[in-house]
Amino acid sequence: MNKHTKPTLQKLENIFKELDYSVRYEKGTFNSGYCLVENSKVVVVNKFFDTDGRVGVLLDILDVILEDDTILSEKSRQFYKSLLKSQEVILK
């Protein structure tokens, strides 16, 4: 399985900043490893996840909240698309 690195995680966190979301790592009981706080642009990720788990969860969240990737900067959009392609390869 593909192991993601801290720079990958940081780039994903920057995408959330572009979308005006804050990402927090907290302990708690999350069914899917994360929760979205209603009416706030806050993403809470299980802090016990390793880097790879955090990247996976943030990609899942982006899939839910990002309706149109054209609102991202060109650099972020290309990075996001490359991550999605690498995930597709892993799933096949």
Q: Tell me whether residue 30 is exposed, middle or buried, using C-beta atoms within 10 angstroms of its C-beta: 0 to 12, 13 to 18, 19 or more.
A: middle
pLDDT tens, 54-79? 999 999 999 888 999 999 999 999 99
Lowest mean pLDDT among 11-15, 32-36, 45-49, 58-62: 32-36
Residue 7 DSSP SS3:
helix
- The pTM for the full model equals 0.85
Q: What is the 3-state secondary structure (H, E, C) of 20-86?
A: CCEEEEECCCCCCCEEECCCCCEEEEECCCCHHHHHHHHHHHHHHHCCCHHHCCHHHHHHHHHHHHH
Average pLDDT, integer, range 39-63 = 90
What are the structural domains of the chain?
6-91 (3.30.2010)
Q: And the tokens for 92?
A: 């096949």
* Statement: residue 1 has pLDDT above 70: no
